[in-house]
Structure 1
Amino acid sequence: MRALGAEFLGTLIFILFTTGTITSGCHSSDVAQQSGNGASLTNAAAGSCFIGSTTALLNIALAFGFTLFVVIYFTASVSGGHINPAVSIGFFLAQKISFLRALCYVIFQCAGAAVGSVIVKGLDPTGYKAAKGGANALNATAGITWSSAFGFEMAFTTGFVLTVFAATDSRRLSLAAPLPILAPLAIGMMLFVCHLVLIPIDGCSVNPARSFGPAVVSRSFHDYWIFWAGPVIGGVLAPIIYELGFRAWEEQGPSRSTDKDGEDMEQLKTNNHARKADDVEAGMPMAKP
């Protein structure tokens, strides 16, 4: 229950800060003018800013990247810090978590996203309307088709989940002390890059829960299937690619050696891995005092 609470609260905070950045950005004068409403959004058409507007692209991308970094940092030791159904599905397929845990994670992540979106709407109804809650949608004015958006979402989610696997692989972490601390940062920066590319395409999802919350609250379901199908397929492909192409990295790593007292270094690594494996079932290994 603590893990489910962490996933719920973590996703809620993630949506609150990230979509809050989108809706508040709609109040800036330059975005309002692009939306054809002068300096006011009082009579703005629903969805008149965000998709197709690159004025606040960097701010939004930074908000997503750094918010995920912070959220993973404080939820990792409790639930593993998934905050994304695609990650939970990938971890289930890699046999890192059980089916029941993965299913419950997805449900609580989506619930947290919906509650977070409701809070944003209540705090900033005008900006929320102008941005349609930050819901994902195809940038039709740029000629983006469903096939293009689907391909982008699948490819970028695969890359994102691959980063999560690499950053949380306890065997890799046992070889380099700084990696447990850098893991949330690497994941956050990968999400930042994904948003830099995909915001002008479809608002960037790579996270079905992120799409679910704003879509449900703003009732924006046009082409909505893309933002589940693409990320879920990416979450399925990532563990397969990681197992085939990256998992053997440690086995090809440093040769066996001994320290100055003659103790086998390989045995030390095995012991460290065993201790870390007991921390969390979902397992985002974090540095401990």
Structure 2
Amino acid sequence: MSKDMKAAESYVGLSELTASTNLWRALCAEFIGTFLLVLIGCGTILQFKPTAAPSIVAISLAFGLIVATLAQAIGHVSGCHVNPAVTLSLFVTGDCKLIRSCLYIVVQCLGAMAGSAMLMVATPSDFQGNLGATAPHADLAPAQAFFYEAVLTFLLCFVIHGVCDAKRKDIKGSAPLAIGLAITACHLSGIKYTGSSINPARSFGPAVIKNNWHNHWIYWAGPIIGGLVAGLIYKFIFKVPKDEEDSMDF
């Protein structure tokens, strides 16, 4: 194989389709993970009593905890992206090949749709509302919502790159916990602004099931831009260089 062909293969990852069953196991993990994320996270948002509206803290903890626990359960299989913005952020750093990235995004969206559909089936019609769909605050301009989603997703992906950097030897705690706490922090700040999606698939599921596409572009463009910027900044500025790997001792 020529040098150019090897370079193309390292970028595209075509061999992953035939080399082993790992990719198919990973796709199953991403589907199940996104399904559970949407079902449980969005289920927390639904209000069954007029006087018992879910608090921002409860919603934030639900999303943070479900992602942290899923990362423990399926992180070794697929990396537990369960988020197209995370997948694309890892793609630009070279940690996820093109074919794997495309397939991940497809199954993440399918998992989100299935999770939202299951939530609708399991919830009495009077309490379904919009199935936890995200929407900007009424007084927020679309550009403001886009910016906030981008910044929040930047934080999430920046933390993911930091705690998952294989060359770091100073991390003593739990990477899934750190990621879950980052999601909780994003939601605590962002729910009142945009609903704090920070995940295109999470917004896509309820939008499909309820056929509500108002300002939906925000929840793709914002998180994807934020994730891409986070990946590029971490790769070219903060990633541990090879010559520092052996000298790190904190």
TM-score (norm 1): 0.74
SS at match of 2:131: helix
Structure 2: distance between partners of 1:191 and 1:122: 27
The yes-or-no answer on 1:229 pairing with 2:225 is no
The residue that corresponds to 2:21 in the other structure is: none
Does the aligned pair in 1 maintain the 2:163–2:171 contact within 8 Å?
no
The residue that corresponds to 1:157 in the other structure is: 153
Shift of 1:245: 2.5
One-letter amino acid of the structure 2 residue matched with residue 17 of structure 1: I
Shift of 1:239: 1.2
Number of equivalent positions: 226
Structure 2: distance between partners of 1:4 and 1:224: 25
Does the aligned pair in 2 maintain the 1:64–1:192 contact within 8 Å?
yes
One-letter amino acid of the structure 2 residue matched with residue 239 of structure 1: G
The yes-or-no answer on 1:244 pairing with 2:240 is no
The yes-or-no answer on 1:210 pairing with 2:202 is yes
Structure 2: distance between partners of 1:223 and 1:106: 20
State percent identity of aligned pairs.
37
Structure 1: distance between partners of 2:133 and 2:81: 21
- Are the structure 2 counterparts of residues 145 and 78 from structure 1 closer, same or farther at C-alpha, using a change threshold of 3 Å? same
Shift of 1:126: 3.2
The yes-or-no answer on 1:14 pairing with 2:8 is no
Shift of 1:91: 1.1
Shift of 1:139: 1.4
Structure whose alpha-carbon radius of gyration is higher: 1
The yes-or-no answer on 1:66 pairing with 2:65 is yes
Q: Provide Cα deviations, 1:50-92, integer angstroms capped at 9, x if missing partner.
A: xxxxx51111010000010001111111011111101111111
Structure 1: distance between partners of 2:84 and 2:207: 16
SS at match of 2:96: coil
Map 1:116-155 → 2, pairs under 5 A:
116-126=115-125, 128-130=127-129, 132-140=130-138, 143-155=139-151
Tell me how large the CA RMSD over aligned residues is. Answer: 1.9
Runs of 5+ in structure 1 lacking a partner?
33-54, 258-289
Structure 2: distance between partners of 1:256 and 1:234: 29
One-letter amino acid of the structure 1 residue matched with residue 48 of structure 2: H
TM-score (norm 2): 0.85
Shift of 1:144: 1.1
Does the aligned pair in 2 maintain the 1:152–1:198 contact within 8 Å?
yes
1:167 corresponds, among 149, 152, 163, to 163
